[in-house]
Amino acid sequence: MIIDLASRCLIAIGIVFVLVFGLVPMQPASTVSPTDSTADLRDSGALEAGREEANRAEGGRVETARVQLVDDPVTGEPEPEDRAARRPLAIVIENHPNARPQWGLSLASRVYEAITEGGITRYLAVFGANDADRVGPVRSARTQFLDYVVELNAAFAHVGGSANALDLIEALRIKDINQFWNARPYRRIQAPNLAFEHTVFASTTALRVLIGRRGWSARVSLDHPAWKDDPAPGLRPPSQMVTIDFSTPAFRVSWVYRPSFNDYQRFLAGVPDVDAATGEVVSAKSIAIAVIPRVHGRTRIGEDTWTFSDIGSGKAWVVQDGTVAVGRWQKPSRTDRLRFLDAAGGEQAVDRGRQWIEIVPPEVIPVIEPVAAAR
């Protein structure tokens, strides 16, 4: 009885199996899609390879996405087009001994250095393709920097300024980011025994956010010198040093040539000038020295000031590649670019990379040793 019942159950199960799986066609195992995409990737790769092969057979070229690089108009170095075309950002950085080491100078595309009051030098650091999270200490504007801001069509970051500088900024309609009225991109970072005026820093990224909000972020086109490549290592002289005594020993600058890098390291007051942002000694590919007369005076509120006659021309040196070219600087108007001409009157080609422009009065005479003439 039990055996008969079990037999009937087995027969019933077999009938159900036939009805279900017999009526639903099974897909052959060889055509079942895998649970992952390996086969799809393999088929896609084969298809792409076939397309490339067909393209080659037809004499075509396989296109791949590339970042378009162009010459940066300030340094000449290859940069992505969108970064090379963005508006330069010019920041006033102080050089009081208590403010050292400064932050961000080794990330600037170009730096101008000039005397202010009391024999103290100050910098105008121009940032192009590079950014720096901390730049400074940022200090007040002076008139001797404004014509370079104008020729670069740069946005200008500073903390206040002399009365004549502030008047001129407004008259020239400079794209101004005075910390007095635009505090957000700046921050105070205090340190023990450090005077309050040495504590303001800025972020180039934050400054560029403000530039965008002001509607100043349109691409700019800048005139620039002809760029040149470095000489072969075997053509570089073994040494060279440039020394500029701006005033006291605290502001004595030396540039020491490094043939292996074809650049110049900067020494200030007899010690390496280290950028606190990177820990690196500040360096430049080329140093241009312009002798520009200055006149002492007072602002409308009685401040001590110097006015530099930087429209016109005068004596100049261009130091690069371990050599020096003696010539002249030329700047016909505020909006014209400061040019450096050789003895024949042609414009000097410049090495690609960071440039440092030393603005010296006639009484400051640079010493260049040895004096190897540019080829």
Over residues 295-311, mean pLDDT = 95
Reported pTM: 0.81
pLDDT band at 10 (very low <50, low <70, confident <90, very high): very low
> Among 42-51, 60-69, 361-370, whose mean pLDDT is lowest?
42-51
pLDDT value, residue 66 = 78
pLDDT value, residue 370 = 84
In tens, the pLDDT along 341-355 reads: 999 999 999 999 999
pLDDT value, residue 18 = 33
d(CA 147, CA 172) in angstroms, rounded, equals 9
| Homologous superfamily of the 227-369 domain (CATH) | YerB-like (3.50.90.10)
pLDDT value, residue 126 = 98
Where do the domains of the chain lie?
A: 71-213, 227-369
| Homologous superfamily of the 71-213 domain (CATH) | YerB-like (3.50.90.10)
Over residues 327-332, mean pLDDT = 98
pLDDT value, residue 1 = 42
3-state secondary structure at position 248: coil
The answer to whether residue 6 scores a pLDDT higher than 50 is no
The answer to whether residue 152 scores a pLDDT higher than 60 is yes
**Mean pLDDT score across all residues of the chain:** 86
The answer to whether residue 55 scores a pLDDT higher than 50 is no
Give the residue with greater pLDDT, 24 vs 371: 371
pLDDT band at 117 (very low <50, low <70, confident <90, very high): very high
Over residues 317-344, mean pLDDT = 96
The answer to whether residue 27 scores a pLDDT higher than 80 is no
Query: Quick one: angle between helices 143-152 and 163-171, nearest 10?
Result: 20
pLDDT value, residue 373 = 66
pLDDT value, residue 103 = 98
d(CA 94, CA 116) in angstroms, rounded, equals 10
The answer to whether residue 338 scores a pLDDT higher than 80 is yes
Closest CA to 202 of 216, 218, 182: 182
Tell me, yes or no, if the two domains 71-213 and 227-369 fold the same way.
yes
Enumerate the H helices of the chain as residue ranges: 2-23, 38-57, 81-84, 143-152, 163-171, 204-213
pLDDT band at 67 (very low <50, low <70, confident <90, very high): confident
